[in-house]
Homo-oligomer: A and B are copies of this chain.
Amino acid sequence: VDKPPVWIMRQAGRALPEYLALREKHSFLEICTSPELAALVSLQPVKRFQMDACIIFSDILVVPMAMGINVQFSPDISLSPVIKNREDVARLKRPEMNSALGYVAQIIKNVLSEVSDSLAVLGFSGAPYTLASYLIEGGHFKNFHKTKMMIYEEPALFKELMKKIADAVGDYLEMQISAKATALQLFDSWAGELAAEDYEHLVLPYLCQIMERLRPKGVPIIYYINGIGNLLELAQKSGPDALSIDWRIKLSEVRKRLGQNQVVQGNLDPNLLLVSKEVIKQRVFEMLNQTNGKGHIVNLGHGLLVDTPLENIETFVTSVKEWAEKNEPKK
């Protein structure tokens, strides 16, 4: 692409008044599991703003649900039963995708039918480690203590769990590819908490498994870790088409370590969308100057904050377009 594309993690949902209006009539889970409502919500941000991608409205916990875990989303996220031992892991199902998660494929199809070819439609999944930590902690995170105990004390059991999740995630993303998603994002939000050696031995192999399985399909995969700075080289090794970078590290530094051709996504601090328009624009320009807008999918470094003013989302998106116009390559 000539100009850097832009979208925002969590662009669909809680920050938009039209979503909140819909939530007065439907629960979060009702919207997630209804292909019509979820497609409607997915399209809300791209109707308001000039984003270049539409990510489907869903939740990473639909995969644990399909594996046989009860997930409660309100008032707080809670999963049951929590995974403690070999029997718990054995009980996890490998879901039959069409019956268990076919509704997500339908969301993708519904969104695709509403948009022009120029808009990318993104599917996504939680990555195995992040889903494993939800399953082990039950959603109540306290320094990832239980997850780490399993990693340190029972690495073989942890690997079994990772293998089962990686199989399900692979199936799930294949289904999204069959539904014609333009690209896919794997969210490994919590992997940045691990020691690099544990990431290397207990997380990376299962990512590689997924990437190798999907690579022949030719659909780009974006891989996100919050706190990716310590794991850059390992994350690159898994072979994603793009790395989604949090705000803690400069994109220029990422390129210095991983090579100038590494496609990056990101990476402003979501808190920056709560400040004045001048500051937002300045930070967008500074970020784009680091990459010259090449091989750069503009985004935040983590999800959009709930209380972000709409006009600031607008400023973020239009600043990217403005930078691109000013820096158009000479013909």
Closest partner residue, chain B, to A282 (CB atom): B152
- Contact residues in B for A250 (Cβ distance below 8 Å): 195-197
Q: What's the minimum C-beta distance from A198 to chain B, rounded to whole angstroms?
A: 9
Contact among B145, B197, B248 for A227, CB-based, below 8 A:
B248
User: Is residue A114 contacting chain B, with contact meaning CB distance below 8 A?
Assistant: no
Chain B residues, CB < 8 A from A271: 143, 145, 148-149, 152
Return the chain B residue nearest A302 by Cβ: B143
Complex: A250 Cα to B149 Cα, angstroms: 20
Chain B nearest CB: distance from A16 CB in Å?
21
How far is A279 from B194 in the complex, measured between Cα atoms in Å?
16
Additional 17 contacts, C-beta under 8 A, given A152-B275, A194-B248, A196-B249? A145-B274, A148-B271, A149-B274, A152-B271, A152-B279, A153-B275, A195-B247, A195-B250, A195-B269, A196-B250, A196-B253, A227-B227, A227-B248, A229-B229, A229-B230, A230-B230, A230-B248
A contact set with B: CB distance below 8 Å:
143, 145, 148-149, 152-153, 192-197, 227, 229-230, 247-250, 253, 269, 271-272, 274-276, 279, 286
Distance to closest chain B CB from A154 (angstroms): 10
The answer on a CB contact under 8 Å between B279 and A192 is no
Q: How far is the CA of A149 from the CA of B272 in the complex (A)?
A: 8
Tell me, in angstroms, the Cα distance from A229 to B143 when the chains sit together: 18
Asked if residues B279 and A248 are in contact (CB atoms below 8 Å), the reply is: no
Give the copy number: 2
Which residues from B are CB-within-8-Å of A149? 271, 274-275
Q: How far is the CA of A286 from the CA of B195 in the complex (A)?
A: 13
Bound Cα distance from A153 to B286, whole angstroms: 16
* A135 nearest CB across to chain B (Å): 18
User: Which B residues lie within 8 Å of A227 (CB)?
Assistant: 227, 248
Quick check: B197 and A269 within 8 Å, CB to CB? Answer: no
With both chains docked as a complex, state the minimum distance between the C-beta of A59 and any C-beta of chain B, in angstroms. Answer: 21
What would be 10 A-B contacts, judged by CB atoms less than 8 Å apart?
A148-B269, A149-B274, A149-B275, A152-B279, A153-B279, A193-B248, A197-B286, A227-B248, A230-B230, A230-B248
A311 to B271, CA, bound (A): 43
Q: In the complex the two chains form, is B195's CB within 8 Å of A152's CB?
A: no
> Looking at A194, A229, A250, which has the most chain B CB atoms within 10 Å of its CB?
A229
Return the chain B residue nearest A257 by Cβ: B257
Which residues in B have their C-beta under 8 angstroms from that of A279? 152-153
Q: In the complex, what residue of chain B is closest to A233 when comparing beta carbons?
A: B253
Greatest chain B CB density within 10 A among A145, A192, A247, A274 is at: A247
Do the beta carbons of A249 and B275 come within 8 Å of each other? no
How far is it, in angstroms, between the C-alpha of A275 and the C-alpha of B152 when the chains are bound? 7
Residues of B within 8 A of A192 (CB): 248
Q: How far is the CA of A205 from the CA of B272 in the complex (A)?
A: 23
Return chain B residues, CB-CB under 8 Å to A229: 229-230
